[in-house]
Amino acid sequence: MMKISFIVDKYLEDLAAIKRYSANTIKSYKADLQQFDDYCEKHSKRILQNISEKFIRSFLMTLSEEEVAKISIARKLSAIRGLFKYAYRNEYINSNPASAISNPKTVKRLPSITTTESILEIYRIAEDTEPDDALLIKTIFEFLYGSALRVSEVCGLNYGDIDLHAKTVRVFGKGNKVRIVPIGSKSAEIMNEYLRSKNFLSAKDPLLTRNDARIYPRWIHRIVHKYLSKVTDIKKKSPHILRHSAATHMLDRGADLKAVKEILGHENLSTTQIYTHVSIERLKTAYKKSHPKS
């Protein structure tokens, strides 16, 4: 019989090598499974085969009593379910005690968004910086908002991924899944100006360079927070706000939900549907503000 820690290591290796999960996802899974392993160790449950459904539920109950957020409990349960599914599939255990445990009910929070006018105002403010910096800032915002990319996807872009003739960008998303995302005409103009300002030697040269180095997530977070703070008072000012905003604005203007799903690179349509709720809430707000019968 295998120790839990051994199977956890094998499972994480499988996620990295076979399923190609991102380093950040694997890091989160590792932390959650380490917490579960510590709980098992505390209760003298060192062998995965000896873990029952009741014991898993006791772990989740403990988290709840410690007032861990429901969304965090759901994430930890997802990691545990994945571990047991892997162990059962590879015959480390004879049955899967986690399969019947459902996620705790959570209230889905609608994502915050900013306005198109705010994005345009950022471009005007950026013009007051050095020309090269202004161009880089606008290009980053075009990828985050114009093409609705994730920060990790922007940081991973290379020169050869951009096709301005076809007005598309090749993106390596979650799990290293490749998708082709359209580039708008205005975005293409900015990107073309940016590309002409750089001396790219190879298709593998990092697209967004500053001081001849690849752009990294923390830098993008800092830049986005800085400029969003100048134009909006929304509480959260992360790059993901731009992705939320792009999706919502597309749906506001009649975009097909499935098309938005493909642009965003979502695995399931249900993930994209949250933005339809945002659009409806915006309609309700507009109605309440302007309709005489509201």
Residue 125 domain boundaries: 116-289
**94 falls within a domain:** no
18 and 142 together in one domain: no
133 and 233 together in one domain: yes
79 and 189 together in one domain: no
Lowest mean pLDDT of 106-115, 124-133, 171-180, name the range: 106-115
Class of residue 220 by CB neighbours under 10 A (exposed 0-12, middle 13-18, buried 19+)? buried
pTM: 0.67
pLDDT tens digits, one per residue of 68-79: 888 899 999 999
Active site residues: 150, 174, 240, 243, 266, 275
72 and 174 together in one domain: no
Q: Is residue 107 over pLDDT 80? A: no
137 and 41 together in one domain: no
**58 falls within a domain:** yes
Compute, in degrees rounded to 10, the torsion defined by CA atoms 83, 39, 2, 97: -50
150 and 192 together in one domain: yes
80 and 121 together in one domain: no
**41 falls within a domain:** yes
Written as six digits, the tokens of 97 are 């005690």
Instruction: Assign residue 149 the CATH number of its domain.
Output: 1.10.443.10
Q: Is residue 223 over pLDDT 60? A: yes
**98 falls within a domain:** no
169 and 80 together in one domain: no
144 and 81 together in one domain: no
**96 falls within a domain:** no
Looking at residue 33, its pLDDT comes to 96
Q: Is residue 102 over pLDDT 90? A: no
Count structural domains, the chain: 2
pLDDT confidence bin for 22, thresholds 50/70/90: confident
